[in-house]
Structure 1
Amino acid sequence: MTDLHVPANDEDTGTPVPVVLDKPGTPSTPAPEAVPAEVRPRRRIRAASLRRVVVEIRQNPAYRAAVRHGSYTWGGGRILTRRAWEARTAAMHHRMMRIAEAAGNEEMVQKWEQRAYAYRFARHKRRMDLLQLAISLPKAVFTTVVAGTGVLLLIGILIAWHQHDVADVLGPLDAVIQLVAWLGFLASVIWDPLLYSLPLLAMAGAWAVGRNQRTAPTWALPADGDERDVVPDENAIMRALGKLGIPPLNASIKEGWKPRWVQPSTRSGNGWHAQLQLPEGVPVEMIADKKQILAHNLMRKPIEVWPTEPRDQAGVLDLWVADPGVLTKPVPSWPLLTEGTTDFFRGVPVALNARGEQVIGRLMAANYLIAGIMGSGKSSLVVALLLGAMLDPLVEIDVHVLAYNNDYDAMRPRLRTLVKGDDDEHVVAAMDTLRALAGEVSRRGQELERLGTDTKVTREMAERDPSMRPRIVVFDEVHELFTHREYGKEAKELALKVTKKARKTAIMLMWITPDADAASLPRGISKTVSHRVAFAINDHQGNDAILGTGMHKNGYSATTLVAGEDVGTAMAAGFGKTPGLIRSYFVRKEAGVDEVTPVVERAMKAYKSDEGVWEVPTFDVADPLTDIAAVLGHATKMLTLDVLHGLKDRNPVEYGSWSPRDLKAVLDDAGHGEYKTNGGKMHVGLDRILDAIAARDDDTLDDEDDEGGIED
């Protein structure tokens, strides 16, 4: 090593800077401790200058364009190579198995293993067919040429015989030879340009794929964001997450974090569904709090984006993104608006979920807590529930409205009682009903015990004994009752008591309030009722008071809904295995339009016959499992396509548009599974359908206990 002193730059004050030479004539970077303190700031200045130069280069439009389009081509080539590899191998199957294994889904792992085996088997068969073709090809070519030549000669003989000229015998053969020669000439003309253009075409294809997948560095992409796509694929989701301004998430992305997709972005109903595991230090709550920015990044409105956390997958972001505008379009007409009757013990259609699927509101063994600020549309869900219940002639309905409004006036003919007002006398009437309900619940429980059953009231029992008929009791503006200075404490105690014990006795309660706080609701109501519905709520405390503690944190929040805009839209729990968005049917009763009164009149006709006796109507809301069982009849099994045709014949309105995929979805949800005979054709088994119906009936009462597990 040799120590030399070299002069500093023109900013230097003359202080020599020691430089270590690795070999004579080759200076290396000076050690930090060897650089005098007064020289170090100049080093930082030089580093800052270098960074500025790099930034200026990156900001140069020509340089950014070159890097962007070069990255598009390179990245697109990599993507196409990976796609080709996955198409030729079982790499995709193994990748999906790893994702399913990471998610703990053993059933999905087995399915992908079966698919991988089927793929390898089919690939082996194709290769053997190609080998066989290579062996048989010369013989096939020779046979084809000889046969073709013979046919052409036969045609030539016929032409020569007709024209009386022997020279025409070779005419067809000569024409074919000339055609082949002309095609060869045409190919020789096209071949060279095509051969030279193939690399350009390949590069253009790779560039198009890379541009679609945005494989260029972020700094090289167009600054105006014109290339954003409305389809929320994995790349779009990652870009949206990276621009939420969450420091721990940004740090993870800078460190090279690669998301583990539990479920890649796939089409689901009226939108897209994806699940990915978030990095350490980034709970789902952070994403949910940035919902408005996330929706903007995905080119959606806040109501169209729902980031949540699955109950059984901690740390996983479950993201559902609706198609643009689909959740702001009007909800279709209520299915029972002009015809049809219902069954209290099987529920009524009340709403659509975010995916556009019909939501059935359970009445038997159910209680409802409905809240939302004024103008959020609570009455739309209540009206759909009550009108549906009215179409069952066995149901008796009582309504207490602790305010003065006309929401229930059109239903008065079918209601057993309707009490309106917020004076003390109206509070006393509500208390009398609560006390009577407490006694009624006890009486019905004793009657069930006397009959030797510990299950629940059935339709047959209600038809036989009028004292066991289903009852619905509505308490609207119930905060007036629970906050009353004299009766509030007793009302809360009775409400909890009746709600807990009423589910087996065919008594359904509906608690409705615009105030969602501890003072307006009894502690524990939200974990006692089976159905919790939150329309527009101002704060997350009110949201959790309705839906349960921690629901806002997990992304199930109604705080982003806007009263007056998202009318009839709510976050609800109890209508399915997991909470979710619902959009209530709207049966209108306003100036010039009255859709409620005709339904009430139709309900009154079913309520009493001309002779003044009860009529028990049929149930017109479709139940696929029951209808499948009816189509099967006494047959132990039936081809799946025959079952589908039978459903369409039985109820063309409901099943007329069904495809085999729709039927398969119902069978899979019921746990029927794939069922093939020795012939390899898909069948539906009667025993499996009956088991599914029995299991569903047994689970109906258990759903409330499972959903009540959320602590208040």
Structure 2
Amino acid sequence: MTTHDHTEHHDTDRTVVPLRPTAHTATDDVVDAEVVAEEPRPTFGTRRLPVPHISEETRLRLAEGAVELRRTSAPYVQTGTKTVVRHALYVPAGAAVVAKRVRDTRGVSRYERMLQAAEVAGDWDKAAEWEEREARAKRERHQRRMDWLKAPTHLAKAVAISSAAGIGLLLALGVVLAVADGNAGMVLEPIGAAIDTVRWLWWFGTAYGALLLTGSLGLGGLYLWDQGRKHSTWQPRWAAPVQANPEERDLVPDEGAIVSALRELGYAPLTRAFKEGWQPRWVSPTTRVGRGWHTQLLLPRQVPVEEIAKRKHVLAHNLLRKPIEVWPTEPKDQPGVLDLWVADQGILTGPVDPWPLLHEGTTDYFKGVPVAVDVRGEQVTGQLMARNYLVAGIMGSGKSSLVICLLLGAMLDPLVDIDVHVLAYNVDYDPMTPRLRSLVKGDDEEHIEAAMTRLRELASEVSERGRILEALGGEEAKVTRELAEADTRLRPTVVVFDEVQELFTPRNNSKDERQRAEEAKELALKVTKKARKTAITLLWVTPDADATSLPRGISKTASNRVAFAINDHQGNDAILGTGMHKRGYSATTLVAGEDVGTAMAAGFAKVPGLIRSHYVRKEKGVDEITPVVERAVALREQAGLTTGPAPAVVEPAAEVDPLADIAAVLGQQPRMKTREVLQHLTERNRTVYGDWTPQRLTSYLDDYDAAPYKTEGAMQVSAARVHEALTERDRDHDGDTEPTEGDD
């Protein structure tokens, strides 16, 4: 069957021709048909189409059987019906709004809400104040009600008195006029004028009362309609307005798109604010910043930024973005202001630019190294001097990418020494071995003890560097590049403790393990706090962000805190700081395996923000780490320094002679300061002398009558006394009176 289109005359019509099967029409050819009466009956909503607009084939079939042509309802019929119903419902909705306002104004519901809020917040002073206000409002309401009850009696009295006074006044006026004119009939003329006035007012009310009543009701209904349209939060779904293009939303998050996204956020106080006519005040208009858009607006009352951040996934959906591409935060100095940054679609899922030092270049420990880019596409520098790092994230989130960039950057400064302790069997650091001073990996007992030994050494080294700096420039002195080049004791040092939860968590419930874990926490906190000016940088890396596996003091003290994908807001705040999740700085929306290398970081800029670390690869067929390490080794050799894969723990010699070592340290100098003696002893044998203190050195030498003495304002060791004690001991070598190694 051939079909012809006649839309040039009927654009909105769709003609359906139901046919009755006849001898000339096969049943298989029927597409849409129904049998009707021989004489078509008019039907509501039907229309007979003009014959000139029917095809020849249809005309033939019309001759064979009665055909009823129907026209479908036009779209504007449904739309118009919904519009009428929706606007009609605005009137009762407005009445409900007005009733609620009257109730809040005349009643005590508002006081009860404020009283309840004060009790929940624990503000008992406010609660007492609102309770007093509520009691006063109840008394005033009671007084008003009593006044209304007495009003009819008072009104009747007032009318009676007014009427009597008016009649008396009119009679007096008539008497005065009558006496003046000598006409007694004028006494009642004022009363007649008053009666005429009343008669005219009655006529006016009856003639135009209906019109006045209709106008008043119309204005009242219009007012209720307006209030319902603006402030009502309820409408039946089927009566909602139909959008012409519901899927067409703005990709650019300008002011209009942001307001629309907030309007549909689904947070009741914000929705109510919109219904009451709230309009945002734009602190900073939407502007293009880097690879995204930035704006700031002041939120209404009862809408904290924290609640917006909780609904980040809805906000991102409304703005046609993924949650990782939308960051609602609250500036520290602007409470109540929503600081919103929206990235371009897909910009945070593409590859990151190559590491700037991948093929050439050197670094300076005291100026920092490039490690990542921020969401605006700008370079992020990881400072090393006076900084400590806390890096956390579940497995597969990309923690190692940031740590590797930091270490490779540190290597390209020939002055820097690097030690790595990985408390797991991890191969991430193996390609760096030629440039590392030490690399220990594993989670056995000896590896844990090696990390503990390094912590003890660091505690002593931090104290010694502090004493050296105090002697050089007072309490405010700090290590500079010039000092580090001149004194080997002040060379920059970077120490990595990876899988650090193994160090801070007891391996079993024994007393020794608990004591060891507590000692590790104390040493780590001490070193982290004191290392700022001494050119010692610590990197604490862990997949577990909780109080058990990570000392709370370290998360508070670390200057640079980096959270890759985190499972919960408690872990997020354990890394970034208390309350960061509520303020919108959260890594809980990052997904391990998808957002690899992306983290929420604090300490790199004035405010926390999202960063994407560079990825220097070492995988099958691609090795970008080894060439950088080879360049770093060559730079160190050119500087006259050597770096060998030294063992992480120096095993003590079979026999150690502290007195002989002290004599060797003194050499030909007549005397030497106590702290300098300790420093040289540590350099000579860190394992034995790393935890020696001035008190221990004094106690040891006192047994040989060679104890340090104070001269020139400092405790010093006399070379003559030490050499004399050594000679005396050697002379009496076969005796038992002299102490042996380690006796102190």
TM-score bracket for the superposition, by shorter chain length: 0.5 to 0.7
* Stretch moving more, 501-510 or 282-291: 282-291
| 1:611 to partner: Cα distance | 6.2
Aligned to 1:595: 624
Letter in 2 for 1:404: Y
Instruction: Give matches, 1:196-595, under 5 Å.
Output: 220=241, 222=243, 225-453=246-474, 454-485=476-507, 486=513, 487-595=516-624
- Matched residues in 1 for 2:306 and 2:554: separation? 25
- Matched residues in 2 for 1:549 and 1:59: separation? 55
- Matched residues in 1 for 2:417 and 2:639: separation? 19
- Matched residues in 2 for 1:224 and 1:419: separation? 62
1:451-480: per-residue Cα shift (whole Å, max 9, x none)?
A: 124221000000011110000000000000
Aligned to 1:142: none
The alpha-carbon distance between structure 1 residues 392 and 62, as it changes in their structure 2 partners (threshold 3 A), is: farther
- Matched residues in 1 for 2:537 and 2:468: separation? 18
- Matched residues in 1 for 2:498 and 2:413: separation? 22
1:302-361: per-residue Cα shift (whole Å, max 9, x none)?
A: 110001111111111110000001111100100000000000000000000000000000
- Matched residues in 2 for 1:58 and 1:470: separation? 80
Aligned residue for 2:410, secondary structure, equals: helix
- Matched residues in 1 for 2:332 and 2:78: separation? 46
Gaps in structure 2 of 5+ consecutive residues: 1-74, 87-238, 508-512, 644-744
Aligned residue for 2:630, secondary structure, equals: helix
Aligned to 2:141: none
Aligned to 2:9: none
Aligned residue for 1:282, secondary structure, equals: coil
State the TM-score, normalizing by the size of structure 2: 0.53
| 1:224 to partner: Cα distance | 5.2
Instruction: Give matches, 1:602-681, under 5 Å.
Output: 602-609=631-638
State the TM-score, normalizing by the size of structure 1: 0.56
| 1:612 to partner: Cα distance | 5.7
Aligned residue for 2:440, secondary structure, equals: strand
Gaps in structure 1 of 5+ consecutive residues: 1-55, 68-217, 615-712
CA root-mean-square deviation: 2.1
Letter in 2 for 1:269: G
Aligned residue for 1:571, secondary structure, equals: strand
Aligned residue for 2:414, secondary structure, equals: coil
| 1:58 to partner: Cα distance | 10
Aligned to 1:152: none
Instruction: Give matches, 1:123-202, under 5 Å.
Output: none
1:60 paired with 2:89, answer no
Contact 1:58 1:220 in 2 (8 A): no
* Identity score, percent: 71
| 1:523 to partner: Cα distance | 1.6
| 1:59 to partner: Cα distance | 5.8
Contact 1:376 1:564 in 2 (8 A): yes
| 1:566 to partner: Cα distance | 0.2
1:500-554: per-residue Cα shift (whole Å, max 9, x none)?
A: 0001000000000000001011122112010000000000000000000000000
1:188-207: per-residue Cα shift (whole Å, max 9, x none)?
A: xxxxxxxxxxxxxxxxxxxx
- Matched residues in 2 for 1:502 and 1:324: separation? 42
Larger Rg: 2
The alpha-carbon distance between structure 1 residues 239 and 437, as it changes in their structure 2 partners (threshold 3 A), is: same
- Matched residues in 2 for 1:467 and 1:452: separation? 16
1:50-86: per-residue Cα shift (whole Å, max 9, x none)?
A: xxxxxx9996079879x9xxxxxxxxxxxxxxxxxxx
Aligned residue for 1:321, secondary structure, equals: strand
Contact 1:448 1:456 in 2 (8 A): yes
Contact 1:58 1:219 in 2 (8 A): no
Aligned residue for 2:552, secondary structure, equals: coil
| 1:609 to partner: Cα distance | 2.4
1:672-700: per-residue Cα shift (whole Å, max 9, x none)?
A: xxxxxxxxxxxxxxxxxxxxxxxxxxxxx
Contact 2:371 2:614 in 1 (8 A): yes
- Matched residues in 1 for 2:376 and 2:490: separation? 38
Aligned residue for 1:608, secondary structure, equals: helix
Contact 1:57 1:63 in 2 (8 A): no
| 1:242 to partner: Cα distance | 1.2
The alpha-carbon distance between structure 1 residues 262 and 219, as it changes in their structure 2 partners (threshold 3 A), is: farther
- Matched residues in 2 for 1:407 and 1:347: separation? 22
| 1:274 to partner: Cα distance | 0.5
* Stretch moving more, 506-515 or 487-496: 487-496
| 1:221 to partner: Cα distance | 5.8
The alpha-carbon distance between structure 1 residues 497 and 536, as it changes in their structure 2 partners (threshold 3 A), is: same
- Matched residues in 2 for 1:517 and 1:612: separation? 41
- Matched residues in 2 for 1:377 and 1:613: separation? 32
The alpha-carbon distance between structure 1 residues 554 and 57, as it changes in their structure 2 partners (threshold 3 A), is: farther
The alpha-carbon distance between structure 1 residues 612 and 401, as it changes in their structure 2 partners (threshold 3 A), is: closer
Letter in 2 for 1:540: H
- Matched residues in 2 for 1:581 and 1:334: separation? 18
- Matched residues in 2 for 1:261 and 1:58: separation? 41
Instruction: Give matches, 1:104-119, under 5 Å.
Output: none
The alpha-carbon distance between structure 1 residues 253 and 467, as it changes in their structure 2 partners (threshold 3 A), is: same
Aligned to 1:644: none
- Matched residues in 1 for 2:639 and 2:445: separation? 40
- Matched residues in 1 for 2:524 and 2:482: separation? 28
- Matched residues in 2 for 1:339 and 1:255: separation? 61
- Matched residues in 2 for 1:507 and 1:474: separation? 11
Letter in 1 for 2:465: R
